[in-house]
Amino acid sequence: MQAVILAREAELGGRPPAALITLADRLVAQPGLSAWFVDRSRPPALPSNLAGRFIHAPMPPQASYRAPPASLVEVLARAGLDCPEQLETSIHAWLDVFSLIKPALLVCQQAPVAALAARTIDLPVVHFGPGWSIGLEPLAFRPWSGEPSQDNAAMDALLASVNAVLGRHRRTALQHLGQLYGAIDDGLIQGWPELDPCARSGRACYTGCWPAAPMAAARREPGRKLRILAIFENRRELRKLLAWLAEEDCECCLDLPASAAETARHFTSASMTLRAGTPGQTIAQDADIVICHGQHEAVLEALGLGRPLLILPQSTLEHHLASQLEALGLAVVLSSPASAADWRAALASLVQDKTIQQRALAWAQQHPAELADPAQCIIRFCQG
């Protein structure tokens, strides 16, 4: 029986990695395959198949989740890559995990230390995630908000730390930090080629919005209230959105991380349903409109279901994706901070502009929800 480890270390927001959890759950059910899920923290409502196959990722003490990181440089520093001694300790901890499980393959989603440890023993690695997170160029390490200049000193220190450890293990030094995230033409990429910021060869495997919910038109019967799904994290903007929604004649489901749930409880009304920190599929099937910051999995699910988006991006990555969707005519984009009037105008634009709704449905009809099943891709890799 071959073993596969699915690993995540870096937490870029307060939401559990729904697609990675689903992938691990499906691999566990495959005959002849032993799958293990390794994450920095145990997600809530972990599927029963994974209950006995979860391992806490070996992380340094300072890696506990605080505010979202401002750049990939900060992500790597939080994971302990800025200190060779700490990094060596973490790598040895990962090597202990590898020795225990004896995996044939490591699947990484923002797991740079695990990938580095695998490099020291030539363990095959597949990276799973959005296009911006696989095969990174040095430019990707610039801050996600604020000034676009790179913190070259921090990058140089991280690279020196990584190469010092690789040298101890007699492995080739990295030329830049992006090599921790695989080659540009490899990996399992969540999304469609049109939304990928990188140009890749035919070896790249796109998964669409896997795991996909059945696409269905959200037809509003006469008299039915507008249904909104809000996947939100910014508490300041959340207060404005909720205060406005409470006055509107609509139904709203709030899909929030636990950190924002308490804020929401003070504003929710009878027409609002609160879901806090729940992994897996949201209820976008029942929504007419999806409101979010531009989180990758939320956008993919909405597009796969043919739902128009209202996006309030918070980071450079979200701004980039929001700009793409706006150019494709699939979303209305708001700038932060947004006033109640801004929210009202943006939502009115989505509701009244049938063209955006038609484009969203056309996208879902023209783009297969599941281009490739990552579980089957991993099985084929293990089978050689």
Tokens of 374: 């990552």
Tell me if residue 38 falls in helix, strand or coil: strand
CATH 3.40.50.2000, the chain: domain bounds? 2-211+370-383, 226-366
Sheet holding 205-206, edge to edge: 54-56, 33-39, 2-7, 105-108, 125-130, 188-190, 205-206
What is the reported pTM? Answer: 0.85
Check residue 358 and give its pLDDT.
92
pLDDT at 278 over 50: no
Q: Do residues 212 and 191 make contact, with C-beta atoms less than 8 angstroms apart?
A: no
Picking from 11-25, 136-150, 202-216, 358-372, which range would have the lowest pLDDT averaged per residue?
Answer: 136-150
Of the two residues 181 and 316, the one the predictor is more confident about is 181
Residue 307 has pLDDT above 50, yes or no: yes
Of the ranges 10-24, 129-143, 213-227, 315-329, which is most confident? 315-329
At 36, list the tokens: 């293990």
Q: Average pLDDT, stretch 276-286?
A: 52
pLDDT at 306 over 80: yes
Can you tell me the distance from the alpha carbon of 44 to that of 41, in angstroms, rounded to the nearest whole number?
A: 9
Residue 280 has pLDDT above 50, yes or no: no
Average pLDDT over residues 226-251: 76
pLDDT of residue 281: 47
Query: How much is the average pLDDT of 322-341?
Result: 89
Percent of the chain scoring above 70 in pLDDT: 82
Domain 226-366: give its CATH code: 3.40.50.2000
Percent of the chain with pLDDT over 90: 31
CATH 3.40.50.2000 correct for 2-211+370-383: yes
What are the Cα distances from residue 63, in Å, to 82, 149, 209, 266? 12, 25, 30, 31
Task: Dump strand ranges (E) for the chain.
Answer: 2-7, 33-39, 54-56, 105-108, 125-130, 188-190, 205-206, 226-231, 250-256, 272-276, 289-292, 309-311, 331-333
| Average pLDDT value for the chain | 81
Q: Does the pLDDT at position 277 exceed 50?
A: no
Give the model's confidence band at 257: pLDDT under 50 very low, under 70 low, under 90 confident, else very high. Answer: low
3-state secondary structure of 77: helix
